[in-house]
Structure 1
Amino acid sequence: MMEWINDWLWKQEYWLPPGISWEDMEKMEGFQQPLPRDLLISLPLALGFIMLRYAFERGVARPLSRALGVKDRVCLKVITAPNLEAFYTKNSRQPTQNEIASLVNQSNLTYRQVETWFRNRRNQDRPSNSKKFCEASWRFVFYLVAFTAGLASLINTSWFWEQRDCWRGYPQQPVQDVHYWYYMLELGFYWSLLLCVSVDVKRKDFKEQIVHHFATIFLLGFSYCSNYIRVGTLVMLVHDSSDFLLESAKMLHYAGWKKTCDSLFVIFAVVFLVTRLVVFPSKIIYTTLVLSMEMFEPFMGYYFFNVLLLVLQALHIYWAYLIFRMIYKFLFLGKLDKDERSDVETDPEEEEKEEDHSSWRKRKVVLDSRLAVLGSSCVLNNLTNQEAGTNRRQPKAR
């Protein structure tokens, strides 16, 4: 069974263009052939990245956050309430009105106290600015180093300037050592992000991030086995060109450097929109869909590779929508209030505003009812006075 699966998985029709076999790849003298077993090195690299990240956050990122003035919100402690804690951990972090009413009877607390308890309890679980700063600084360092090293390794290559060269002689194209390590390090880094996704800060685009990590890992692995390495290096370079700008803007946002953060965000938005919505589809997707057909006929790997690229492009469009929302806030509100990809829960400020708004509505209802009572009492007093005046005038008339 395992032999049949292995033969089916590595059919040359899946991975190579028509007319090219695995034997042809192996017979090339002086040719460093990319082998699937090479990808296994990415797993120990991922574990190495996780340990390096832990040491970096403890030894560099946390002292840097204190030096830049990153402040964490002070969270109020909640009272001991076993019934509320059990409901919070097992059922929901945001109970409905009916559920709060049921919890009021179980805990001997008022409706207001139960609402306050859940709000403070959610604030305790909300990640601190220091934690988010450490995550952003780690990604900033990697993306900056990856972009710098990738640009240095590609600036003198022919396919960097002329994308048709990505397919000249394909798939018998030599793999340079620098591009091999560029691939393995990027693949190991995305494996580390996927392994740490459960402990990282959960953001609004959590599902999109999971899809992005899986698509990137499949894209890197498949492109390496099919020797799409020239195009793959361009894909990684395009992505790294804007990622380090985003992470640096986040770092300054958590540190409270609003003006510098806003300036960096504008630069990031321009670079992101140009590279992801213009360069990526017009240069990379176009060369894989159209220009590659000048060199070979379509095969299964051709379709699979382009589907993964289109998935990435769909994610680019979604993130561009979030960026346009932030640009709207920046232009019409004058500042960037928060990251559109921030925590799934509402911010404490928003909860306080909602609380104030609801309490204002309650006070308004009470005030209206008192005014109605007061108005009705005034009407009754007027009627009483009128009747008394009429009774006093009647004897005089007689």
Structure 2
Amino acid sequence: MLSRLSEWFWNERLWFPEGLGWADLEDRDGFTYAKAADLWVTLPIALCFLIIRQIFERTVALRLAAALGVKEKVRVRAAHNPTLETYFSNTTKHPTQSEIETLGKKTECTERQIHRWFRRRRNQDRPNQLKKFKEASWRFTFYLLAFIAGLAALIDKPWLYKMEEMWNGFPMLTLLPSQYWYYMIELGFYISLLFSVASDVKRKDFKEQILHHVATILLISFSWCVNYIRAGTLIMLVHDTADHLLESAKMFNYAGWRKTCNYIFIIFAMVFIITRLVIFPFWILHCTWVYPVTVYPPFFGYYFFNGLLFVLQCLHIFWAVLILRMAIKFLPANNIVEDERSDREETDSEDEEEEKEKRAPTKNGPVQNGHPPLNNNHHRKGK
């Protein structure tokens, strides 16, 4: 059964235009071509990345954090309370007003004490600034080096300037050493990100991040197996162009360097829009979707490859919306850029302000049902 499945999966009619096949990718006359077996090397590379990351975050990242003034904030831990802990773990982390009243009867605590306990307990599960900074500095380092290496590998290649050249001679495209290592290292890195996603900072776009990593791994692997390596190197370079700018903006954000963060974020937003919403769809995607059918009839691999590219493009649009939201928030008042995907840490002072607002009269009379109206000051604090 596995043999039949393998035979069907590697069917030449699925992955190549009519008249071409795996035999065309056999090494000959001193020329080397990409092979599916080469991808096994990405697993030890991914493992090496996981090890290097741990060493980097505990040494280089910590020193860099100290140099930029990033400190691990000491949080007030929630007092031990088995009843509240059980409710927090098994029922909800955000109890309603009626649930808080019920818990107050069970624990003989005031509503304010229960509010504060849940807030402190939620903060305990949130990653601190130092952890976020170390993750961002690791990704910044890789993306910057990958961008420089990718640019060096492609700067003298004709398909960087005339994208139709990526299909010249397909599928007999000779594999260059620079292309080999660019592919293996990029794929190994994304596999390591997929392995570490469970321990990384959880963000609101967690599912989209998983989808992005899986689509990227499939795209890089597939383009390697069927020798779409020229298109693959261009796609990787386009993605690496903006990523290191975002991670550097995050680093300065966590360090509290507001103006530096804002300036870098503006540059990142422009580069992201240009590369992901202009160059990627109107140059690269156009060349992989429109141009090939002028050379050979469409086949399954053609649709599969472009399908993955369209998934990436949808994610680009999704993240572009988040980027524009952040830009709109910080540009008018020159405030610090906040990551739309992260939860804001709660403070004890918030509960005290809410209590004052509940007791304070308004133009329309007392606040009803314990829900204070939103005013400008309170709204700004919630950003």
| TM-score (norm: length of structure 1) | 0.88
Match of 2:120 in 1: 120
Structure 2: how far apart are the matches of 1:190 and 1:256? Answer: 29
Q: Give the deviation of 1:14 after TM superposition.
A: 1.3
- Residue 314 of structure 2 corresponds to 314
Residue 25 of structure 1 deviates from its aligned partner by 2.9
Q: Which residue of the partner structure matches residue 360 of structure 1? A: 357
1:240 aligns to what? 240
Q: Contact 1:326/1:336 (CA < 8 Å) preserved in 2?
A: no
Q: Which has the larger radius of gyration?
A: 1
Does structure 2 conserve the Cα–Cα contact (< 8 Å) formed by 1:56 and 1:138? yes
| Superimposed CA distance per residue, residues 264-309 of structure 1 (whole angstroms, 9 cap, x where no aligned partner) | 1111111111111111111110000011222222110000100110
Q: Which residue of structure 1 lines up, in the alignment, with residue 371 of structure 2?
A: none
2:112 touches 2:351 (CA, 8 Å); kept in 1?
Answer: no
* C-alpha displacement of 1:77: 2.3
Task: Quote the Cα distance in structure 2 between the aligned partners of 1:117 and 1:248.
Answer: 35
Deviation by residue 1:181-209 (Cα, 9 ceiling, x = unmatched): 10111111001111111111111211111
**Aligned amino acid, residue 238 of structure 1:** V
Give the aligned partner of residue 345 of structure 2: 347
Unpaired runs of 5+ in structure 1?
Answer: 370-398
Counterpart for residue 396 of structure 1:
none
**1:90 to partner: Cα distance:** 2.3
Query: CA separation in 2, counterparts of 1:218 and 1:58?
Result: 31
Change (3 A) 1:358 1:218: farther
Letter of the 1:102 partner, please give it: T
Q: Does 1:254 align with 2:254?
A: yes
> Does the 8 Å contact 1:238/1:275 carry over to 2?
yes
Partner of 2:7: 7
2:338 aligns with 338
Matches within 5 A, 1:80-229: 80-229=80-229
Say whether the 8 Å CA contact 1:215–1:308 is kept in structure 2. yes
- Offset, 1:88: 1.6
Q: How many angstroms apart in 1 are the aligned matches of 2:93 and 2:330? A: 32
Q: Using a 3 Å threshold, how does the CA distance of structure 1 residues 161 and 118 change in structure 2: closer, same or farther?
A: same
Query: CA shift at 1:363, angstroms?
Result: 3.6
C-alpha distance in 2 between matches for 1:305 and 1:254: 38
| Structure 1 residue 237: Cα displacement | 0.2
Q: Aligned residue for 2:45?
A: 45
- How far did 1:21 drift? 2.1
Conserved? CA contact 1:31–1:173, under 8 Å: no
Cα distance, 1:353 vs structure 2: 4.5
1:19 offset after TM fit, Å?
1.0
Partners of 1:78 and 1:33 lie apart in 2 by 60
Sort the Cα spacing of 1:20 and 1:158 in 2 relative to 1 into closer, same or farther, 3 A.
same
> Following TM superposition, by how much is the alpha carbon of 1:36 offset from its aligned partner in structure 2, in angstroms?
1.3
Give a deviation string over 1:204-246, Cα, whole Å, max 9, x none.
2111111100110010011111111000000000000000001
Cα distance in 2 between the residues matched to 1:16 and 1:225: 11
61-70 or 130-139, larger mean C-alpha shift: 61-70
Higher helix share: 1
Q: For 1:112 and 1:354, how far apart are their aligned partners in 2?
A: 7
- Number of aligned pairs? 365
